[in-house]
Amino acid sequence: MHEAPIILIFATMLVALCLALLSKKRKRLDMEQWSVGGRRFGVLFVFLLLAGEIYTTFTFLGGSGWAYGTGGPTVYILAYGAVAYLFSYFLLPPIWRYAKRHQLISQPDFFVRQFNSPALGVLVALVGVVAIIPYLQSQMTGLGLIVQMASYGALPQWVAIAIAMFLLAIYVTVSGIYGTAWTAVLKDILILAVVLVVGIALPIRAGGLHQLMVHINQEKPGFLTLGQHGMGIPWFLSTVALTGLGFYMWPHAFGAVYTAKNERIFRRNATFLPLYQLILLFVFFAGFAAIWIVPGLKNTNLALLAAVQKTFPAWLVGVIGSAGVLTAIVPGSLMMMCAGTLVAENLYKPCFKNASSQQVQRVARVVVWLVAIVTFLFSIHSNATIVALLLMGYNFVSQFFPTVLLTLFAPSNVTKAGAFSGIVIGVVLVVYFTLTKQSILWGANTGFWALLVNMLVVLLVSVATRQKSLSPAQVNTGM
Amino acid sequence: MAIRWLACLPIIVIFGGVFFVNHVYPILLGMPFLFFYMVMAILFTSVCMAVIYHFDPANKEE
């Protein structure tokens, strides 16, 4: 009976791989096909691709783990989605229009074209790849835990992560974005069912939601509100602002924007995506219930899985594990593919100007494997919570936001030098905060401070450089 | 385009509201009040975006 979960999980992986192979057969893949799906995706697919970003291991295991270990501050996850989608209504259509007009493929292309500066593209690509690694690591940590749990400890975590990484790299190499979109459909159906089951059954097992909350509040006063561990209201405000604004600055999310058929798709989705966010509530309920069902876990990432294992029969554990596997494969594959495209298009190509498109594609595929290996090495040595890893990535990518915002809505206020200095200073601050392990400074998220300094630097340096040479900046930032 | 200013409301509700709702009781629908409030804020955001979508002339073209 104990083999059931692991069999189900590997079957799921196999199905995902088959979907990828099938979708490949229909299309010959060049770079544009491979990474932006020929810009032909409609409302549903774009919705799923963008939602695929959101319903990742981060929410499934990370969200429940945070509810379990951190409590009240988890509420930021509800809020930032709403803020991000609200902004998407205004932010994404102009990005999409610009990308379509200039046939852009990757996020750095946007910067290269706006400022006529391949060097800026190299910088953006580098920061993007750096940010992707902790994100991917969070997905792999989740995948590893699921496989480990499903095998009832027979497979140690590093083997589990190695299997997960290997599978993901193969998946990405053969499929590209079509595979991702189809798996996203499968994933969303399964995850919805699983989250509802888990989010309802576990609280019932813990005596009902109301009872559970009263109980938690008695045992741990203050746990269910903001304020503990320095995570008070200023932390909430700064983190929601940081992650809400940074949401679409992820290279893969930025790239997913290019896949849409028209710009109205984004405005329509801005209405429905916030509702989709409510599914997360059930994940939190499960996390809170785990406090009652499996108290005292050292590794909070395990909260949901441990509670599930204690409550449900083995086959159901398998189904839940399979959903978890898909929540890691969809965003994981997008991110790996994205890292490949970033390096091939924006680092390799500018350096080797006469490289053929086949060579560029081969580089992209090699990079996928390199990223897999690097992430694997980071994953086996780390015990960071999944949410902490994700927030680290957000600190990096949100540094693109000031420049993107200004180029879209106030192009005369930003110059190449301004964009460059803002991003560099923001990223340097984030690296400093990361290395000194400071995630909160003066009550607010450190990434938010970096973002503020970044914005200020962009504006000041742009003013200074524009006075010196008015015309080139305006020529370059026009359009 | 004036309808787009409606998007400021959810922002105020989320960022401003949190100062007044950071407590556990009353527990509504099984949620601590802080969580319940954010759920309402999400619903409100969705409604606002639907209204904006409906009246925004940019969505009438084609």
Q: In this complex, do B45 and A212 lie within 8 Å of one another by their Cβ atoms? A: no
Please say whether the beta carbons of B45 and A240 come within 8 A. no
Q: Is the pLDDT of residue A36 over 80?
A: no
Q: In this complex, do A236 and B18 lie within 8 Å of one another by their Cβ atoms? A: yes
Q: Which helix (H) or strand (E) holds A445?
A: strand A444-445
Query: Residue A300: what residue type?
Result: T
Q: From B1, which residue of chain A is nearest by alpha-carbon distance?
A: A90
Please tell me if residue A274 touches chain B, with a CB cutoff of 8 Å.
yes
**CA A351, chain centre distance (Å):** 29
Q: In chain B, what are the domain boundaries?
A: 2-59
Nearest chain B Cα distance for residue A172, angstroms: 34
Residue written as tokens 């706006």? Answer: A114
Residue A351 Cα distances to A129, A339, A345, A348, A355, angstroms? 17, 17, 10, 5, 9
Residue B37 pLDDT grade (very low, low, confident, very high; cuts 50, 70, 90): very high
Q: In this complex, do A274 and B46 lie within 8 Å of one another by their Cβ atoms? A: yes
Residue A185 Cα distances to A16, A49, A181, angstroms? 11, 9, 7
Q: Is the pLDDT of residue A472 over 50?
A: no
- Chain A hits for B41, CB-CB cut-off 8 Å, are 79, 82
B28: which DSSP letter?
Answer: B
pLDDT value at residue A33: 53
Q: pLDDT tens, A183-207? A: 666 777 778 788 888 888 888 887 8
Q: In this complex, do A72 and B39 lie within 8 Å of one another by their Cβ atoms? A: no
Query: Residue A289: what residue type?
Result: A
Q: pLDDT tens, A385-394? A: 677 777 788 8
Please tell me if residue B21 touches chain A, with a CB cutoff of 8 Å.
no
Q: What Rg do the C-alpha atoms of chain B give, in angstroms?
A: 15
DSSP letter string, A251-277: HHHHHHHHTBSSTHHHHHHHHHHHHHT
Please say whether the beta carbons of A225 and B33 come within 8 A. no
Nearest chain A Cα distance for residue B2, angstroms: 13
pLDDT value at residue B39: 92
B19: which DSSP letter?
Answer: T
Please tell me if residue B53 touches chain A, with a CB cutoff of 8 Å.
yes
Nearest chain B Cα distance for residue A340, angstroms: 35
What mean pLDDT comes out for the span A423-452? 81
Query: Which one of A85, A224, A273 makes the best mutation probe of the B interface by having the most chain B beta carbons within 10 Å?
Result: A224
Please say whether the beta carbons of A73 and A236 come within 8 A. yes
- Chain B hits for A236, CB-CB cut-off 8 Å, are 18
pLDDT value at residue A181: 63
- Chain B hits for A208, CB-CB cut-off 8 Å, are 30
CATH number of A4-387: 1.20.1730.10
Cis peptide bond N-terminal to B26, omega within 30? yes
What mean pLDDT comes out for the span A447-455? 86
Please say whether the beta carbons of A332 and A139 come within 8 A. yes
Q: Is the pLDDT of residue A247 over 60?
A: yes
pLDDT value at residue A479: 40
What mean pLDDT comes out for the span A419-436? 83
Nearest chain A Cα distance for residue B10, angstroms: 8
Q: The whole model's pTM is what?
A: 0.81
What mean pLDDT comes out for the span A411-438? 82
Q: Is the pLDDT of residue A41 over 70?
A: no
Q: pLDDT tens, A367-407? A: 888 888 888 888 777 666 677 777 788 888 888 888 888 88
Nearest chain A Cα distance for residue B35, angstroms: 6
The percent of residues above 90 in pLDDT, for chain A, comes to 0
Please tell me if residue B8 touches chain A, with a CB cutoff of 8 Å.
no
Q: Interface pTM (ipTM) of the complex? A: 0.90
A223: which DSSP letter?
Answer: T
Of A82, A210, A268, the CB nearest to B14: A82
- Chain B hits for A225, CB-CB cut-off 8 Å, are 22-24, 32, 34
* Strand A440-441 with A444-445, pairing: antiparallel
Please tell me if residue B40 touches chain A, with a CB cutoff of 8 Å.
no
Residue B52 Cα distances to A160, A235, A313, B6, B55, angstroms? 47, 30, 47, 7, 5
Q: In this complex, do A86 and B46 lie within 8 Å of one another by their Cβ atoms? A: no
- A118 vs A467, which has greater pLDDT? A118
Instruction: Provide φ and ψ at A440, rounded to 5°.
Output: -130, 135
Number of Cβ within 10 Å of residue A468's Cβ equals 10
- Chain A hits for B18, CB-CB cut-off 8 Å, are 79, 226, 233, 236-237
CA angle A79, A70, B45 (to 5 degrees): 10
Sign of CA dihedral A242, A262, A45, B49: positive
Please tell me if residue A240 touches chain B, with a CB cutoff of 8 Å.
yes
Q: In this complex, do A240 and B15 lie within 8 Å of one another by their Cβ atoms? A: yes
Q: In chain A, what are the domain boundaries?
A: 4-387
Residue A48 pLDDT grade (very low, low, confident, very high; cuts 50, 70, 90): low
Selected residues 63-102 of chain A with any CB under 8 Å from a CB in chain B: 72, 75, 78-79, 81-83, 85-86, 89-90, 93
Please say whether the beta carbons of A198 and A287 come within 8 A. no
Please tell me if residue A204 touches chain B, with a CB cutoff of 8 Å.
no
pLDDT value at residue A351: 77
pLDDT value at residue A179: 57
pLDDT value at residue A473: 44
Q: Which of A30-34, A166-170, A290-294 has the lowest mean pLDDT?
A: A30-34
Q: pLDDT tens, A255-281? A: 778 877 788 888 888 887 888 788 888
- B50 vs A169, which has greater pLDDT? B50
Q: Which of A168-177, A203-212, A297-306 has the lowest mean pLDDT?
A: A168-177
Please tell me if residue B43 touches chain A, with a CB cutoff of 8 Å.
yes
Average per-residue pLDDT for chain A = 79
Nearest chain A Cα distance for residue B4, angstroms: 9
Q: In this complex, do B24 and A81 lie within 8 Å of one another by their Cβ atoms? A: no
Residue A374 Cα distances to A62, A107, A336, A426, angstroms? 22, 22, 12, 24
pLDDT value at residue A478: 41
What CA–CA distance (Å, rounded) separates A447 from A393? 10
Total count of residues recorded for chain A: 479
Tokens at B3, concatenated = 């309808």
Residue A468 pLDDT grade (very low, low, confident, very high; cuts 50, 70, 90): low
What mean pLDDT comes out for the span A325-354? 80
